Amino acid sequence: MKMIEQEKFWGTRKIWITIGLFWMFALQGVRAETPSDGFEKHLQLATMNAGEMSHEMSHDNHNAPESHSPGHANSVYQIDFTWETQSQKKIQSSDLRGKFQLVILAYTECSHACPILVADLKHIEGLIPKRIQEQVGFVFVSIDPERDTPDQLHQFSKKMDLGTGWHLLHGDSTAVMGMAALLGVKFRQEPDGSFSHSNLITLLDPEGKIVFRLEGLQQNPDALVHLIIENA
C-alpha cells in the first residue's frame, strides 16, 4: 500500500516539477527580449517604495529618452492649485486624477519650440491605441497667464486642432511657479515679454505621480507610450 501511495505522491509532483522547469526556461527567453530595464522598474519602484527612495535623479542626457522620475513617489496633485480651463471651467489639480496625463509648460505666443512640443504631444496621442484613449489626457499649462487668458487658450486649441482630451490651463503666478517647481521645469520671462523655458514632457500616472520625463524636442516617445500601454 505504501509503495503505491509513494508513487502517487511523486507522480503528481513530477508533473509540477516538469511544468516548473518548462516555464523557467521558456521565460528566460522572453525576459531577454523585453526592452532594456529602467522605466518599468521605476514605475514599480514608484508604487512600491514610497518612503525608501534615497536616490535622487536629476535631468538626463536628452539623447537617451529613458528618463527617471525625480525620485519622489508622491502625487503632484497633493498641492492642489486652482486653474481655469480653455472652456472657462474652474478645476483643481486633483481633478486631473484618474487618467494618465502628459503635461507641458509653454505659452501660446511662442514661435519656435512650443508648436513643436504640442506637435510632439499630438504625435503621442496618435500612438495611443483606441481602446485606452479615454485613459490618457493632455495638459498645457501656460507660463504666460497675463496674455494666455482662457479665451486665448481656446483660440489656440482651435488653431492647433486639439481634441477633447486636452486641458489648457490658466493659473495665477503662484500656481504656475509651483507647478514648474514640482515638475522640475525651468522658465524665465525675458525683458521683451517673451519666455524661455525648458522643453519637457512629463507623464503623470492616474495617481499623479511622475513616472516619465521626456526632455528635448522631437524625442523618440516609444518608451513613454509603451509605459502607458503596459499600465493602462
Provide the binding-site residues for other proteins, judged by CB under 8 A: 16, 19-20, 23-24, 27, 31, 34, 36-37, 40-41, 44-45, 50-51, 53-64, 66, 68, 70-76, 78-79, 106, 110, 112-114, 117, 177, 180-182, 184-188, 190-192, 194-199, 215-217
3-state DSSP of 82-136: EEECCCCCEEEHHHHCCCEEEEEEECCCCCCHHHHHHHHHHHHHHHCCHHHHHHE
Closest contact distance (angstroms) between CB of 113 and other proteins is 3
Please identify, using beta-carbon distances, which residue of 71 and 165 lies nearer to other proteins: 71
Would you say 88 or 174 has its CB closer to other proteins?
Answer: 174
C-alpha cell at 169: 490651463
How far apart CA 25 and CA 21 sit, in angstroms, is: 6
- Rounded CA-CA distance 153/144 in Å is 11
Q: Name 181's Cβ contacts closer than 8 Å, sequence gap at least 6.
A: none
Which residue lies nearer to other proteins by CB, 165 or 184?
184
Shortest reach from residue 133's CB to other proteins, in Å? 27
Pair type for strands 90-92 and 200-204: unpaired
Query: Contact 219/210 with Cβ under 8 angstroms?
Result: no
What values do phi and psi take at 166, rounded to 5?
-100, 135
Q: How many CA atoms lie within 13 A of 25 on its CB side?
A: 5
106/128 with CB nearer other proteins: 106
Q: Closest CB to other proteins among 29 and 126? A: 29
Q: How far is the CB of 203 from other proteins (least distance, A)?
A: 16
**At its nearest, how many Å lie between other proteins and the CB of residue 67?**
10
Q: Residue 147: what are its φ and ψ, rounded to 5°?
A: -90, -30
State which residue, 102 or 105, has the beta carbon closest to other proteins: 105
213 sits in which H/E element: strand 210-215
CB of 136 to other proteins, least distance (A): 23
Q: How far is the CB of 15 from other proteins (least distance, A)?
A: 9
Closer by beta carbon to other proteins, 9 or else 23 = 23
**What is the β-pairing status of strands 136-142 and 166-169?**
parallel
Nearest-approach distance from CB 94 to other proteins, in angstroms: 13
